[in-house]
Amino acid sequence: MAGNFSTFESARLSRAPAADLRGRDLISIADFTAAELRTILHRAHSLKAERTAGVPHRLLEGKTLAMIFEKPSLRTRCTFETGMTQFGGHAIDLAQNHMQMGTRESVPDVARNLDRWVDVIMARVFAHQTVVDLAAYARVPVINGLSDHSHPCQILADLQTIEEHRGRLTTLKVAYVGDGNNVTTSLIYAAGILGMDLHVGAPAGYQPTADVLDRARAQATGSDGEIVVHADPVAAVDGADVIYTDAWVSMGQEAESAERMRVFPPFQVNGALLAHAQPDAIVMHCLPAHRGLEITDEVMDGPQSVVFDQAENRLHAQKAILALLLGV
Ligand code: CP
Ligand code: NVA
């Protein structure tokens, strides 16, 4: 695979004027400017380079992150907690069955308790409104660790991964194939703000909403990139430099599984679909992968797959988010 940039080279390429994000929430990519997203990416590359070089960065000693999970997680939980450990701070996993947010205690009251003790809150929720409400009532920064609407931390790590492998985000054809879901929404917003060329291949009924597309395209005005939606997966990946896919059934959609299994098979990322992309295209998946459904073993374990780089970069991108929101 061509063009595997070092973290130092990527840091140089993503250099941008530093935006001040102290005290901000991270609820949606759409709330950020290009300069702010570039600031997060630059910090993520720098923190990864420091970590790789063994340079300690105990930036959050004495600070605590509260982690709320209404849904399961491997990557989000481990990377946020590991990031706080590497920063010399601490993370508390508030398992939903213990806290019972919304039943034992209201969302506003959970926020108004937590902000008396902790410095930052990360929440993985079913309804996007829950993380919006947490941010409205908590006086400390709140980070969206996935909602039914979006997954901003994932996409920041993915942008870092694309820069590492391709050295840039623009003048590349990025294709997303599959369900127009929460991950897709964050990718579309990032594409609009940063001027990326994004082609989404999704079946009718599962395509990104007009609301999301209109907002992203409005932010893309003046850039060379475009955001295009295709019903044909081959049209989406034709000549692509990056192919991205995700689960056909997201957490909370289990009741729709049978219908989704009927609709999505033509959108599987397999060797035949990959053959329509550039020969050195990279293949991305936010994970967990459902092998044999949205992606085959052949592709996921093949030389073009960067899925575990994405997983690693959750750590670095989220450390950048924590440091910037806490002003260190
Ligand atoms: N990609 C991602 O968010 O993984 P988890 O669901 O394991 O946190
Ligand atoms: N779209 C998936 C992403 C998992 C990280 C879901 O919401 O389940």
Residues 55 and 170 in one domain: no
Residues 173 and 141 in one domain: no
Claim to verify: residue 92 and residue 144 sit in the same structural domain: yes
The number of the ligand 1 atom at minimal distance from the alpha carbon of 145 is 3
Looking at the fold, whether 40 and 145 belong to one and the same domain comes out as: yes
The mean pLDDT of 300-317, rounded to a whole number, is 98
Indicate which residue of 151, 166, 260, 316 is catalytic. 151
Same domain, 65 and 192: no
> For residue 233, is the peptide bond before it cis, meaning its omega torsion is within 30 degrees of 0?
no
The tally of domains found in the chain comes to 2
Name the residue of 146, 148, 285, 293 whose CB sits within 8 Å of the most ligand 2 atoms, as the mutation to test its pocket. 146
Residues 105 and 183 in one domain: no
Q: How confident is the model at residue 17 (pLDDT cuts 50, 70, 90)?
A: low
When the pLDDT of each residue in the chain is averaged and rounded to a whole number, the result is 94
Q: Indicate if 16 and 51 belong to the same structural domain.
A: yes
Asked if residue 51 and residue 145 are part of one domain, the reply reads yes
| pLDDT of 174 above 90 | yes
38 plus 180 within the same structural domain? no
Residues 294, 321, single domain; the answer is no
* Protein residues with CB under 6 Å of any ligand 2 atom: 146, 181-183, 246-247, 250-251, 286
215 and 320 belong to one structural domain:
no
Do 203 and 113 sit in the same domain of this protein?
Answer: no
Domain assignment of residue 27, given as a range: 5-151+314-325
**Cβ contacts of 218-222, under 8 Å, gap ≥ 24:** 218/192, 219/30, 219/189, 219/192, 219/193, 220/191, 220/192, 220/193, 220/195
Ligand nearest to the CA of 254: 2
List all residues 6 or more positions away from 306 whose beta carbon is below 8 Å from its beta carbon.
161, 165, 282, 283, 284
Task: Give CA–CA dist 301/194, Å, rounded.
Answer: 30
**Residue 275 is which amino acid?**
A
Report the percentage of the chain scoring pLDDT > 70: 95
CATH of residue 271: 3.40.50.1370
Q: What is the largest CA-CA distance in the chain?
A: 54
Per-residue model confidence (pLDDT) at position 15: 53
Token digits for 21?
């994000």
Q: Is the pTM of this model over 0.85?
A: yes
Q: Judge whether residue 24 has pLDDT over 60.
A: yes
Instruction: Point out which residues pair with 142 in neighbouring strands.
Output: 121
Q: Are 240 and 279 in contact (CB under 8 A)?
A: no
Sheet hosting strand 120-124, strand order edge to edge: 90-95, 64-69, 120-124, 142-144
Confidence of residue 97 (pLDDT cuts 50, 70, 90): confident
